[in-house]
């Protein structure tokens, strides 16, 4: 009498493991390029990410030993599936809210809003009481750059309190080399408060995934 064949369960690196698919499909293309070949075109990278058969291997390259695929896909990430770049802009807009309210010139305001978006501009002003930077930056281009920089740095500092898996689920969706990877000491103090406001805002919306 032959014994029944054992049931094959999905392994973390298997083709049907949801964690591998999430990590591979959602990673910023520059992350893949850094691990495969920086010379790869954006079109090629997108094709690789769309190939579900490659997801386990791509996830392995992206996560190394810092990501536990067993815990990905079981629950939403720390940003409830929302764009981390958007989260950085919202946090940065609060950080520089004093500068935002000082913009009254329509031409300069138009330049700023074109860079950071209407949502971030309004969000920062709405949370003026939580503004951090006391400087007033009058140049719209410089202010937009600082909003991006300080917002990413706050996001990175906030993520440091989480596990490597949860941290990388967010960071890998950002381009290589943002301030989220190297937050400065001054960002650690206020990052928690600013990101709590951002996450609370996200929770009022329908989660992306």
Dist. CA 62–CA 154, nearest whole Å: 23
Mean pLDDT along residues 147-176: 93
Cβ-based burial of 34 (10 A; exposed 0-12, middle 13-18, buried ≥19): middle
The pLDDT value recorded for residue 51 is 86
Q: What are the pLDDT digits (tens) for 49-85?
A: 888 888 888 888 877 656 655 565 556 788 988 999 9
Lowest mean pLDDT among 36-40, 146-150, 188-192, 196-200: 36-40
């Amino acid at each position: 009498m032959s014994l029944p064949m054992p049931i094959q369960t999905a392994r973390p690196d298997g083709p049907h493991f949801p964690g591998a698919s999430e990590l591979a499909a959602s990673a910023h293309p520059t992350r893949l390029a850094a691990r495969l070949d920086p010379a790869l075109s954006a079109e090629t990278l997108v094709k690789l990410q769309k190939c579900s058969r490659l997801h386990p291997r791509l996830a392995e390259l992206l996560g190394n030993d810092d990501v536990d695929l067993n815990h990905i896909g079981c629950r939403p990430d720390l940003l409830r599936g929302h764009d981390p770049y958007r989260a950085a802009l919202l946090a940065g807009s609060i950080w520089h809210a004093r500068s935002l309210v000082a913009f009254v010139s329509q031409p300069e305001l138009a330049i700023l809003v074109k860079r950071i978006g209407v949502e971030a501009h309004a969000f920062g002003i709405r949370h003026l009481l939580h503004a951090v930077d006391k400087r007033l930056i009058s140049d719209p281009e410089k202010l937009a750059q600082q909003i991006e920089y300080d917002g990413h740095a706050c996001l990175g500092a906030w993520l440091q309190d989480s596990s490597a898996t949860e941290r990388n689920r967010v960071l890998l969706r950002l381009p290589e080399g943002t301030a989220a990877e190297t937050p400065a000491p001054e960002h650690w103090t206020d990052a928690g408060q600013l990101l709590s406001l951002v996450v609370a805002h996200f929770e009022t919306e329908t989660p992306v995934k």
